[in-house]
Amino acid sequence: MATAPGYSTSASFGRDPRHILRNRPDSESQILNLLFDTQIFLWCASDPERLPDRARALILDPESQIHVSAASIWEMTIKQSIGRLELDFDLGTLDGILTQNGFFPLPVEIRHAALVQRLPFHHKDPFDRILVAQALGDPMYLLTSDPLLKPYGEMILFVPPERSPRRSRREDEGVGKPGGSQKPKK
């Protein structure tokens, strides 16, 4: 099987992870490239007090460059259209909002889709699998609260949700997982 340039067929599934930290052209500092999973993005956009402290610190770090995948927007659109997700914002305006807030939209490219074929089936959700492929292929760290993604290796930054005394365990785990800040339909 042919391998795309810059990719390997080894267990790392991507380029050398040292490329995640890139020198800024205007200084000696380093940029940390982060890709939000859908749940982290939903917490950040609609319910920021639910963000784990570690996630909040990474997001607020000026050295972090935050990417939001088109796959996450696609997932939210599908869930909203079938009544599994209610949002406090219009997905149609998201592109401008992301840019205004310093986030970088990340398109799903053919090379990302092709990389999914080589991923082990630690997780069966197609949206999570494409996010893993994007993180491994570009490379960047995938910031997630989903423990099922941890087996994909060092490119996964698992930030477990922190339980709040004002929330039930069911709320902390997310109603209608994945997408935790979803509200059940009555």
Judge whether 10 lies within some domain: no
70-85, pLDDT tens digit by residue?
Answer: 999 999 999 999 999 9
Q: What is the CATH number of the domain that holds 53?
A: 3.40.50.1010
Is position 8 within any domain? no
Which parts of the chain fold into alpha helices (H)? Answer: 38-46, 53-60, 70-81, 94-100, 110-116, 126-137, 169-173
Rounded Cα distance between 92 and 73, Å, is 10
121 found inside a domain: yes
Q: Is residue 33 part of a domain?
A: yes
Host domain of residue 139: 27-161
C-alpha distances out from residue 88 to 37, 46, 101, Å: 18, 7, 17
pLDDT at 29: 56
Element (H, E) at 21: strand 21-23
Q: Where are the beta strands (DSSP E) in 90-168?
A: 104-106, 141-144, 156-158
Nearest to 22 by CA among 71, 60, 69, 67: 67
The string of pLDDT tens digits covering residues 131-150 is 999 999 999 999 999 999 99
- pLDDT at residue number 28: 53
Instruction: Judge whether 150 lies within some domain.
Output: yes
Are the beta carbons of 62 and 31 closer than 8 angstroms?
no
For residue 40, tell me if it sits in a domain.
Answer: yes
Q: How many domains does the chain have?
A: 1
Among 39, 12, 52, which Cα is nearest to 139's?
12
Could you give the CA distance from residue 104 to residue 75 in angstroms, rounded to a whole number? Answer: 18
User: What local confidence, expressed as pLDDT, does residue 21 receive?
Assistant: 43
What are the residue ranges in the chain where pLDDT is below 50?
1-27, 165-186
The pLDDT value recorded for residue 61 is 92
The predicted structure's pLDDT at residue 132: 97
CB 155 within 8 A of CB 122: no
pLDDT of residue 93: 86
Q: Which residues contact 12 (CB under 8 A, 6 or more apart)?
A: 136, 153
In a domain, 52, yes or no: yes
- The answer to whether position 46 is within a domain reads yes
CB atoms within 10 A of CB 36: 24
